[in-house]
Structure 1
Amino acid sequence: MLGGGAGLLAAPLATPALGQPRWPEKPIEIQVGFVAGGGTDLDARSYARALEKRIGGTVVVTNRPGAGGELALAAVVRAKPDGHTR
């Protein structure tokens, strides 16, 4: 019970401050390391549609095939760490 009570007391601290911009500020980009039309691409696009409904923003799936997924991984590593590239 003590753990649950502590969680309830900490809940107000987790809420965003008033005046912060609504997230996402720009489209979210999902990098897929395989060609369009494959199983991974179809899964990513299905996930993107569900995510759009949930967050009320735009989700873009970008295919970067090649090097066993390393090109997509490199694009994620180079992306600005703002939470908009996955």
Structure 2
Amino acid sequence: MAKAKTPGGRRPGSPQPAQGPTVSVDQPTAKPRVTPMQFASQVRAEGRKIVWPSRKETWITSVMVFIMVALAAAFFWIVDALLTVVSQWIIGFGA
């Protein structure tokens, strides 16, 4: 069984928190600006780290996407057809 909470969320007899100085947050330091040439070289360096998929990996992934789209389309078509039949049966049941 859970204990009842006291007003203020403190147990009787527990020590009160110290009333010390408040905590201040330092202002973020500004990043050093880079020249357009440095920026371009950094972009080229990051571009060299990219690992591009092979033609075979791209083909297999594309085929898998098309298969999953076809499966999802078939699933939603079946669900839609079932819901249509059920809703027509309910509407016809009341008439």
**Shorter-chain TM-score: what band?**
under 0.3
Q: Whose helix fraction is larger, Structure 1's or Structure 2's?
A: 2
With the length of structure 2 as denominator, give the TM-score of the two structures: 0.20
Specify the structure having the higher radius of gyration (Cα): 2
- Highest RCO, 1 vs 2 (Cα 8 Å, sep ≥ 6): 1
Higher share of residues assigned strand:
1
Q: TM-score, normalised by structure 1?
A: 0.22
